[in-house]
Chain A
Amino acid sequence: MYKTAIIGAGVIGAMTARRLAAYDAELIVLEKEADVAMGQSKANSGIVHAGFDPEPGSLKAKLNLKGNRMMEETCHQLGVNFRRNGSLVVAFSEEDKKTLKKLYDRGNINGVDGLRLISGEEAREIEKNLSESVKGALYAPSAGVVCPYDLTIEAMGNAMDNGAQLMTNFEVSSIKKKEGYYIIKATDGREIEAEYVVNCAGLYSDKIAAMAGDTSFHITPRAGEYMLLDKEAGYLTDATIFKVPDAMGKGVLATKTVDGNILLGPTSADRENREDDRVTHCGLDIVREKEKMFFDNVPFDKVITQFAGLRAHGDKGDFIINSPVPGFVNAAGIESPGLTSAPAAAIKIEEILIGTGFRAPMKKNYNPCREKVVRFRELSIHEKNALIRKNKDYGQMVCRCEEITKAEILQALRRNPKATDIDGVKRRTRSGMGRCQGGFCMPHVLEIIAEEQNKKPEEVTKKGGGSKILYGRVKGGAR
């Protein structure tokens, strides 16, 4: 019997696990995919919003502000890269400027620090590639960028270091209420019992809530499509550039990710299917068209990949963090600014949990910090040599574009939460994320995974399930 079961290992589930791991009580996280951060927390803009968007007084507004202020410290503790690059909402007309003023006022009510309304010229002083047609901007110096899956992985790892368990490939299919506890069943028949259940299931949070008897809300999948440009295009902008929101919503943005790539997008269109994260012709055309408004020359020839993320759009207009039935807590409909809010949302969820009866002593040896993963390419020659002397695997370069060594691949396979497939290694190390997109390093990574996990190469997958890469030997016996 577990004290608490968290359903869903996105950034909200992971951050919540990290907080609950401070209690001396058995904790488990259940995730349907083969790895953590496979839902919304994998494919999003990675913006740590300043907080002028949400309605004053809403949960979104409160958690956004608090989350933004906590982010630096949280990332520092977890060894995750974070950069306050600032954001600019740009206006192209007088009408737009009026909206800027509204955002400015709303931001001040929400308590956003340092907001400034500036002219087009001033905006171009901050970002010199902004188009001449930019007539004014709202500058928010407190906005930042973080890598969303990095944050999720490290938060979950930290929870696991402190004793939390993670069960992957566990797709919750039913929740049964018993006297003082719940039985949670997976599609493959596995079962666990827990006194408290926290629903952090993102796109499926309405389904999970319904399993516990709460049918008060509905989630719609809303796709956002992106293009990612090579680091060579990094000159384009440093700050995040937004368009003034209009009837069509927030529109696309342009930003430099914490790793230095340029990210363009997202679009916004509802999808029928919650698994439909296809990239479409039409979506990419929209991205291309709209980005041209910001800059005169967008180097689209530097695109290295494109992807889509699905937003868990709830019909309540705000985050749903409540306890509809005793012992069961919802953290549902957490769409943007959910990533920003995550550290603060975890505290809110903890409060609600305590409100529904959760009690446990604190652990004495809880550690909220993690040792930062070694990133070889960020070190000095001296440090590199010291590492290679200690461990030869640092002398073996596996991914040439991102300069990732064999030791770092092994670290990803050995450190919590352990990577089990090619994409898992990629998210943890960036091997295969560079301009060749794994053409060179994928066979090497595959070999290392097989060796480390004692598997045949043909058993290694791209992302769990049936996503195998190879169909066995061409001829002859095993190697």
Chain B
Amino acid sequence: MRYSDVVIIGGGPAGMSAALSAREAGADKVTLIERDDSLGGILQQCIHNGFGLHRFGEELTGPEYAERYEKMVREADIEVMTGTIVTDLDSRRIVTCVSEDRGCIQIKAGAVVLAMGCRERPRGALNIPGTRPAGVITAGTAQKFVNVEGYMPGREVVILGSGDIGLIMARRMTLEGAHVKAVCEIMEDSGGLTRNIVQCLKDFGIPLKLRHTVTEIHGRDRVEGVTVAQVDENLKPVKGTEEFIPCDTLMLSVGLIPENELSKKAGVEISPTTKGPVIDANRQTKIPGIFACGNVVKVHELVDFVSEEGHTAGRSAACFAMGMNLAVQEKQAKKHVKEKKGVQNLPAETGATICTICPVGCTLKVTGEADGQLKVEGNSCRRGRAYAIKEFTSPERTLTSIMAAGDGTMVPVKTDKPIPKEKISECMKIINEKTLMLPISLGNIIIEKIGGTEANLICTRSFINK
């Protein structure tokens, strides 16, 4: 049997960060195991921006954030096993994994870090009545189809659940030419970030139906429509409020569940509330020598905190493996300000918007005064006023999308600075018409001053070996 000081299961941001810190802390042999062919986890399909503000002090897309970490991992002396899935783990820290080249092997680990991330709740968990046609798809699977594989999973879409993945996918599908007819949310407010509600729904005029759910799926072969209805305080559909919406796709964004099959096999105690392992400040589970970090512990909104947690877990694991005292590492986790979530509704009036500058999320109203000056109401500070005026006079957005390479690979791209909102569809057209040549590296400029704006379109993921 092979031996490794620290074995990390899962090569997403949590796992990569844990591997790095375990090496830093002095562990001799660190093994990072990832079942996908590349590192990065869920980040590889999250081509939108909004990652890394805390960690790197700039707004990155998912693939950019992943590539920065991947580079560090490749430069450190870490054994990386991609295309390798861990199929078993026991309390003695014996890790069983399967891959094409190595076959089925077992590794005895000095310490184990669980970093398997999470998976999406499927239709079955929701008990939605109706038929069972093709066209019911979870938002994350749709995201993978569109952003990574380059295939459209639908044309006329209704989204159930207003979690961030659903909101992000509403915008992605719209930008790529689909018609998103509604986003239904059973609760009285959205579970997504305010920023996403404004920039993914409001920007494109997609209706958000709060206190609504899908009560039936129609269609034999492919989805032909869904019935949506309002719900009462007990979340039960209200009779008489049913509405049939024709569509070919029902996209589900109804929550993520930490992926703890392996943790359970090892006998790790799972919290019934977070559905992840019960851990202490060192990120150690109830089984000594098994640590956990990232989405496998609980669903995190920001990747930056995932990396931070991974850092702690990796360091603790290294200490454990080297027989050092863990208590020295005990440190109060930093309190993080949460980004604003849960708008009750989108302001209907024109000239009204939600401030996305800080977590407070004030509803702002802009009116033109007789003297030509703009008047802003509802802001609690001056930054809000500046934001409102900018949104009212010349709103800008960073555009993220994908561009096809000659061999069919989908290359994620973004504008290197925000562009005027009204330029979005023109820029999308330019992106759709152009085909790239590989290889290409992160940061390469693809189109200078796209659509006559000040921004360059740049590549956000390297494809070197193609």
Contacts and interface: CB of A to CB of B under 8 A. Distances in A.
Interface of A: 227-228, 232, 275, 277-281, 283-284, 303-307, 381, 384-385, 388-389, 392-393, 395-397, 400-401, 403, 405, 435-440, 442-443, 447, 457-458, 461-479
B239 to A, nearest CB: 12
Contact of B144 (A384, A437, A443, A476): A443
Contact of A384 (B104, B149, B220, B402): B104
B212 to A, nearest CB: 16
10 interchain residue pairs of minimum CB distance: A476-B404, A479-B408, A305-B124, A395-B100, A462-B134, A437-B122, A466-B221, A467-B134, A467-B221, A384-B104
A281 B129 contact: yes
A473 B150 contact: yes
14 contacts: A281-B129, A303-B124, A384-B98, A384-B104, A385-B103, A389-B103, A400-B261, A443-B141, A470-B145, A474-B404, A476-B403, A476-B405, A476-B435, A477-B435
B103 A395 contact: yes
A297 to B, nearest CB: 14
A436 B119 contact: yes
Interface in B132-159: 132-135, 138, 140-141, 144-146, 149-155
B176 interface: yes
Contacts of B129: 278-281, 283-284
B174 to A, nearest CB: 13
Contact of A400 (B35, B83, B404, B410): B35
Contact of B151 (A281, A457, A461): A457
B104 to A, nearest CB: 4
B432 A475 contact: yes
Contacts of A458: 151
B91 interface: no
Nearest to A469: B134
A442 B151 CA distance: 13
Contacts of B215: 281
Contacts of B101: 392, 395
Contact of B122 (A385, A436, A457, A466): A436
Nearest to A479: B408
Given A400-B35, A473-B151, A467 B133 contact: yes
B395 interface: no
Interface string B109-135: 000000000011011110101111111
Interface of B: 35, 83, 85, 87, 96, 98-104, 106, 119-120, 122-125, 127, 129-135, 138, 140-141, 144-146, 149-155, 176, 215-216, 220-222, 248, 261, 264, 402-410, 431-432, 435
A474 B134 contact: no
Nearest to A382: B104
Interface on chain B toward A: helix, strand, loop, or mixed SS? mixed
B145 A397 contact: no
B152 A471 contact: yes
B376 to A, nearest CB: 39
A474 B222 contact: no
B87 A397 contact: yes
Contact of A471 (B85, B98, B155, B435): B155
B186 to A, nearest CB: 15
Contact of B145 (A284, A392, A393, A443): A443
Contacts of B410: 474, 476
Contacts of B222: 466-468
A306 B154 CA distance: 24
Nearest to A386: B103
Contact of A475 (B99, B149, B176): B176
B134 A463 contact: yes
Given A395-B98, A396-B100, A463-B134, A473 B125 contact: no
Nearest to A276: B131
A469 B85 CA distance: 27
Most buried by B among A284, A443, A458: A443
Contacts of B122: 304-305, 435-439
A458 B96 CA distance: 36
Contacts of B408: 473, 476-479
B134 A461 contact: yes
B125 A381 contact: no
Contacts of A440: 119, 141
Contacts of B140: 439
A384 B141 contact: no
A440 B137 CA distance: 11
A476 B150 contact: yes
Contact of A304 (B124, B144, B150): B124
Given A303-B124, A475-B403, 13 more contacts: A278-B131, A284-B127, A303-B127, A389-B103, A397-B87, A401-B261, A442-B141, A465-B221, A471-B151, A471-B155, A471-B248, A475-B150, A476-B410
Contacts of B402: 474-475
Most buried by A among B127, B216, B405: B127
